[in-house]
Structure 1
Amino acid sequence: MPGVSDSHPDIHWPSGFSPDHAHSFCQAQAVVHAPPATAFGLLAEVGRWPDCVPGITEACAGVAEDTFHVRFHGHRFEVYVGERVPPHRLGWSGVGAGVQLYQAWLLTEVGGGTHVASENVVRGPAAERLHALRPVWAQRMQALWLAQLKRLWENAPA
């Protein structure tokens, strides 16, 4: 499994959530033909996640600021935004279904659009079991999510 040396050097990992401490670590990258502000805005619009994130059927703002919950493959996750630096960085931690996770997004302006790097650390017994049974599950999920978001970003009004 990739470790911290494989992580993008500009990703900020909270204590205890580096790739070296993960039961599952995945990353995906793409260049989207949209400015960073467009990409960031759609990514931060949690209510739209059921339309673009495979497996998410519900996404709602939480009671406290910078919190929300999602229903992912029938499991509820409580999520807290740990880093928000528009339009370049977004990161959140989530707890639910026997796992803890941290997902980081880095949006960098490049000629003709935005380079998007997303990395995900998952810890816990459920992640450990799933990784043992299907080692590439998280990588496939991350790549599919990024492909869906790329489609939305590139079709969004500027």
Structure 2
Amino acid sequence: MLEASDSHPDIHWPSGFSPDQAHSFCQAQAVVHAPPAAAFALLADVTRWPDWVPGITGAWAGPLPRSFEVVFHGQRFEIFVGEHEPSRRLGWSGVGENVQLYQAWLFTAVAGGTHVVTENVVRGPAAKSLDALSPVWARRLNTLWVAQLKRLSESAPDQG
């Protein structure tokens, strides 16, 4: 199980959403053999998430310039972007029934591509229940999400 001290030092946590205040905290990372802009663009295209993000069956741009909605395993979430630094970082908070979350993404250029890190803090009764039933659920989800991002970024037409 990850501890708050395992959080990447460059993640910016909003008030009330640090890993030590979470009911669930997880991290996933990978080196993507594509430039940061390619991986970032894929993640930032929210309306395409149902095509590749595990558990997402619907996604819509919201009324605010930096808000959107997703359906994740049958539950609707309202998402508000807190950080948007193209090709470098993206972070959002989400609210669903009995659950709140903050997910942060970092994109760092490295030799041969991009080091991608995502961390997720989840709070609320639903998170407590899921964590009790399956303590590795969030880590598996984030690992699948990063694996899909890696696969699609590396297979983009301009990556050769």
TM range, smaller chain: over 0.9
3-state SS in 2 of match to 1:140: helix
Structure 1 counterpart of 2:81, which letter? V
3-state SS in 1 of match to 2:14: coil
Matched residues, number: 158
Residues in 1 aligned to 2:147 and 2:47: alpha-carbon distance in whole angstroms: 18
For 1:106-158, what per-residue CA distance to the aligned partner results, in whole angstroms no more than 9, with x for missing partners? 00000000000000000000000110111001000110111111111111133
For 1:50-95, what per-residue CA distance to the aligned partner results, in whole angstroms no more than 9, with x for missing partners? 0111110100100111000000011100000000011100000000
3-state SS in 2 of match to 1:16: coil
3-state SS in 2 of match to 1:12: coil
Structure 2 counterpart of 1:46, which letter? V
Task: Normalising by structure 2, report the TM-score.
Answer: 0.96
Aligned CA-pair RMSD: 0.8
Q: Which residue is 1:23 aligned to?
A: 23
Structure 1 counterpart of 2:28, which letter? A
Q: Where has structure 1 moved over 4 Å in runs of 4 or more?
A: none
Residues in 2 aligned to 1:147 and 1:65: alpha-carbon distance in whole angstroms: 28
Q: Which residue is 1:79 aligned to?
A: 79
Q: Which residue is 1:143 aligned to?
A: 143
Q: Which residue is 2:33 aligned to?
A: 33
Structure 2 counterpart of 1:154, which letter? E
Gaps of 5+ in 1: none
Percent identity between matched residues is 72
3-state SS in 2 of match to 1:34: coil
Task: Normalising by structure 1, report the TM-score.
Answer: 0.98
Residues in 2 aligned to 1:51 and 1:155: alpha-carbon distance in whole angstroms: 15
